[in-house]
Amino acid sequence: MTEHQPSKLGSTRCGNAVFNWGQRTYVMGVINVSPDSFSGDGLTDVEGAIAKAKRFALEGADIIDIGGESTRPASTPVSIDEELRRVIPVVEKLAKEISVPLSVDTYKLEVARRALEAGANMINDVWGLKKESMLALLAAQKGVPIVLMSNQRESPSQDIVPTVISDLRRAIQQALAAGVPWENIIVDPGIGFGKTQKQNLEILRRLEELKVLGRPILLGSSRKSFIGWVLDLTPEQRSKETAFLPPGDQRLEGTAASIAIGIAKGADIVRVHDVKEMARVCRMSDAIIRGV
């Protein structure tokens, strides 16, 4: 262990909440305020997003993650102004109306800065500081946690788990150098981001290897395409009876399995689209794995 790698993960303060890592699995509910979300749950109106976030809070979400740009493969990037237009009104209103902490899902510095000013309590960077290194300095200045994801969309790898660990180690050191406290760093292997379907399964199977990094692990497997691939539920494979349904509606059971196994393999927080159901999966898995 180095001086930055204690044997226990400790705690992370996020807004008014404290995440005591290892005691239970925490649930991050996804609010997509983008019309082209891969999971079919994108919202285009502020009130709809507010209502959904409030429901998630009642269903057991420990944190709400708000994103204004789709991260599905081949999606079209949106401008900073458009992302601000989508995200900031939702953050502003939610910060006043619910006590659950808020995360902003963005890799753009100005969006993250404005979201924190509006009341967000965490930055979720799907590029792990590769696109915008200043996000680490912003997190340090504002004293908020930051999620660092390993994203291979611009650099595919044949040996995926060592690549992910190396990439996350680079991001952690970058965040520390910018002044982010050790306890404010969370890592995410980036299921679905530049990995093959087999690699996504391999990451889940070997998730405990990320524990070498000494930081809590966020797992974002919810509704991802590898579930459709395994269960023959890709757009090409779906039957006429289910073709009209959003793809995410067909991946609930597969998501539940991935989360249960992910918790057994060391996940500390799960990012999900179906909070009520997955909070129950977490509770049951924790009873078995953690004895709580």
The tokens describing 15, both together, are: 């807004």
Determine whether 224 is an active site residue. Answer: yes
Catalytic residue among 271, 276, 280, 283: 271
Instruction: Please count the other Cβ atoms lying within 10 Å of the Cβ belonging to residue 45.
Output: 11
Q: Where are the beta strands (DSSP E) in the chain?
A: 11-14, 17-20, 26-32, 63-67, 102-105, 122-125, 146-149, 185-188, 218-219, 269-272
Query: What is the H or E stretch that residue 97 is in?
Result: helix 80-97
Catalytic residue among 114, 224, 251, 265: 224
Determine whether 271 is an active site residue. Answer: yes
Rg (CA), the chain: 18
Question: Do 140 and 111 touch, CB atoms closer than 8 A?
Answer: no
Q: How far apart are CA 163 and CA 141, in angstroms?
A: 29
Query: What is the length of the chain?
Result: 292
Kindly list the catalytic residues: 224, 271
